[in-house]
A and B are shown apart, each in its own frame.
Chain A
């Protein structure tokens, strides 16, 4: 599998702060970049996704920034809340690979009240 490298592995943010998680990929054929959110005891669930025809996508407090030339993308959580505490996974997929996704290693986010 092509690698997707995610950092940091863990992150602690104060309530109201900005959480930033970064991912980097190598396969230039990737053309779909979703972020998944996983709460303890649950399966990952799609949070937000972007395709490379745009450099940014925002949904509420969650924003994906995409840098095609650098082969990097990141998740920004504005006004972080304790309820955002979860594990976040970035992923990448390619139409050429059917609908298989390659996942990053995950980031455990804790938002302190």
Chain B
């Protein structure tokens, strides 16, 4: 069974451009998490969904960030406009809803904003 799939794996863009990161969770999982990882701040939870509904977006840094989950097999994280300080590795993870349990991480998208 395929794990969490993220695309693109690497993204280089210029400041001010829109960036869209994509995630396909593990089939059957109904919780999805977006994380950001940097050297300075470690692993930060940005937002998570249960059954396609955003539950907690308190980690989203500002209005430039938005996330959607239109169906159980797809989610996007969008940054518009992007800034150099958004440069980081963005991870998507999925798990079963209902109890604290294992989250399965994707390979990440390394974003560089010039």
Report how far A95 CA is from B33 CA in the complex, Å. 16
Interface residues as binary, B88-107 with A (CB distance below 8 Å gives 1, 0 otherwise): 00010101111111111111
- In angstroms, Cα B27 to Cα A54, docked, is 31
In the complex, A66→B42 CA distance in Å?
24
For chains A and B in complex, what number of residue pairs have CB atoms within 8 angstroms?
67
Tell whether, in the assembled complex, residue B43 and residue A31 are in contact, meaning their CB atoms are under 8 Å apart: no
Q: Could you say which interface size class chain B belongs to?
A: 20 to 34
Please pick, from A31, A34, A43, the residue contacting B91 in the complex, using a CB distance under 8 A.
A43
Q: Are B56 and A105 in contact (CB under 8 A)?
A: no
- Chain A interface residues toward B at CB < 8 A: 1, 30-32, 34, 36, 41-46, 49, 89, 93-95, 97-103, 105-106
Binding site for A on B (CB under 8 A): 4, 31, 33, 42-43, 45, 48, 50, 55-56, 58-59, 91, 93, 95-108
- Show 13 residue pairs from A and B whose CB-CB distance is below 8 angstroms, ordered by the A residue: A1-B58, A43-B105, A43-B107, A44-B91, A46-B104, A49-B102, A95-B99, A99-B100, A100-B45, A100-B48, A100-B55, A102-B45, A106-B42
